[in-house]
Amino acid sequence: MTDFASLGDVRGKRVLVRSDLNVPLDGTTITDDGRVRASVPTISALAEAGARVVVCAHLGRPKGEPEEKYSLRPVVGRLSELLGRPVTFAEDTVGPSAQAAVDGMSDGDVVLLENLRFNAGETAKADEDRAAFADALAGLADAYVSDGFGVVHRKQASVYDVATRLPSAMGGLVRDEVEVLRRLTESPERPYAVVLGGAKVADKLAVIDNLMGTADRLLVGGGMVFTFLAAQGHEIGTSLFDADSVEACKGYLERAEREGVEIVLPVDVVVGKEFSADTETDTVAADAMPADAMGLDIGPESARLYADRLADARTVFWNGPMGAFEMAPFAAGTQGVAQALVDATAGGALTVVGGGDSAAAVRQLGFDDGQFGHISTGGGASLEYLEGKELPGIAILTKEH
């Protein structure tokens, strides 16, 4: 099944849509509404087709019970504004408020349930511990549409189990994400460059391992780069560092040389004495870092080098910022890579920004979503797909129940 057209005429049907509304909040203010905007086309199409749309989602990591700071209430207004129709908010997930809201729906109405993770059954590891919650969710609807790509790598009640209980289909967002990732893994136009950043190299080891067989170039930045520099024997001062991954990084550098894959590391680094926007900064050669400073961004020469290595790429996947972009003194590396992707897109390349911090970074730095080929809503799901893992929330939609 590729989209909800497979469900037939949805007029008058209650359709449970698993969206990804896990937005960053400053108190009750949404600071990046990208995921809300991405969820709108599927919800809107169902409502316009006369479905009674019951939207479910999570926010943050509550511990299986209600916590006010994780309420989805702040999302209601923005979702309603973007849809151009009212959205009713249920004060619980499957309790009396949810049941009353669903019972009161007319064709084309939209209800948003409270945070799914306020119920421990949503994220329980054992199938039997998720069953009752999945039954209750399924009881609110006649059909199910999976449209939260950011969670399809999780075997959770609203992602996996509900799809075994109701006629199910992919929403447009999930379909588009899978199609783009399939292009990255099955038939990338070359040269194919992958930019990996972010804090922890351990989170990216499996994807690096898999990409060795498909990518032509790996450009490494962010906090994870210092483990690579340490693997080369360089001083890295007080920089973020994963001692357990040094040998793996050595192995990747050697394997890349053997197999003709280019691994690009920074030639200069912006350093500071502490992780602070006010710290005194300096730019030093990547192989000459002072012992009492930490690397907080790739340097200007590195940004130019990375832009050069992206200039002729026909396919680019980027996951993870190049430095501590939230602080102005350490945003230039990420800005430079983002601009290089914009230029590549303008030149006809397929550019994919892999969700999470990368998506937040490009918006915070003033770029528009339309300047890139595709901005994923799911960083972790994107990486697991590129690792070659089966994603439970995708696999269940293609199985016969």
Residue 217: strand pairing partners: 193, 262
- Label the pairing between strands 281-285 and 268-272: antiparallel
Distances (CA, A) of 57 to 134, 137, 146, 370: 14, 12, 11, 25
**Residue 105's CB: how many other CB atoms inside 10 A?**
17
Judge whether 370 is annotated as a binding position: no
Record the tokens describing residue 248, joined without a space.
């793996």
Q: Which of 356, 373, 378, 393 is catalytic?
A: 356
- Of the given ranges (52-56, 115-119, 133-137, 394-398), which has the lowest mean pLDDT? 394-398
Q: How far apart are CA 93 and CA 260, in angstroms?
A: 52
The number of C-alpha atoms within 13 Å of 59 and in the hemisphere containing its C-beta is: 26
Residue 261 DSSP class = P
- Of the given ranges (91-100, 217-226, 318-327, 358-367), which has the lowest mean pLDDT? 358-367
Contact 364, 325 (CB under 8 A): yes
Q: Which of 35, 52, 217, 363 is catalytic?
A: 35
- The SS3 of residue 9 is coil
Q: Above 50 in pLDDT, residue 1?
A: no
Catalytic-residue membership of 155: no
387: exposed, middle or buried (C-beta count within 10 Å: 0-12, 13-18, 19+)?
middle
Q: What is the mean pLDDT of the chain?
A: 95
Contact 44, 83 (CB under 8 A): yes
Contact 173, 42 (CB under 8 A): yes
Catalytic-residue membership of 69: no
Judge whether 59 is annotated as a binding position: yes
Distances (CA, A) of 147 to 46, 80, 197: 12, 18, 27
Q: Which amino acid is at 165?
A: R
Taking only the tens place, the pLDDT of each residue in 173-212 is 999 999 999 999 998 999 999 999 998 888 899 899 999 9
Judge whether 250 is annotated as a binding position: no
Q: How far apart are CA 234 and CA 238, in angstroms?
A: 12
Contact 335, 365 (CB under 8 A): yes
Q: How far apart are CA 118 and CA 282, in angstroms?
A: 46
Q: Which of 85, 380, 388, 389 is catalytic?
A: 380
Q: Above 50 in pLDDT, residue 20?
A: yes
CA dihedral over 177, 179, 184, 188, signed as positive or negative: negative
Q: Give me the pLDDT at residue 400, please.
A: 61
Q: How far apart are CA 29 and CA 124, in angstroms?
A: 30
Task: Give which of 344, 353, 264 is closest to 312, Cα–Cα.
Answer: 344
Q: Above 60 in pLDDT, residue 2?
A: no
Judge whether 22 is annotated as a binding position: yes
Judge whether 382 is annotated as a binding position: no
Judge whether 356 is annotated as a binding position: yes
Residue the block writes with tokens 């012992």? 291
Judge whether 357 is annotated as a binding position: yes
Q: Which of 73, 200, 255, 314 is catalytic?
A: 200
**Residue 233's CB: how many other CB atoms inside 10 A?**
8
Taking only the tens place, the pLDDT of each residue in 336-387 is 999 999 999 999 999 999 867 888 899 899 999 999 999 998 888 999 998 8
Per DSSP, the residues of 222-257 read STTHHHHHHHTT---TT----GGGHHHHHHHHHHHH
Task: Give which of 54, 42, 38, 22 is closest to 169, Cα–Cα.
Answer: 42
CA dihedral over 10, 12, 13, 17, signed as positive or negative: positive
pLDDT band of 45, cuts 50, 70, 90: very high
**Counting every residue, how long is the chain?**
401
Judge whether 272 is annotated as a binding position: no
Judge whether 204 is annotated as a binding position: yes
Catalytic-residue membership of 64: no
Catalytic-residue membership of 37: no
Taking only the tens place, the pLDDT of each residue in 136-175 is 999 999 999 999 999 999 999 999 999 999 999 999 999 9
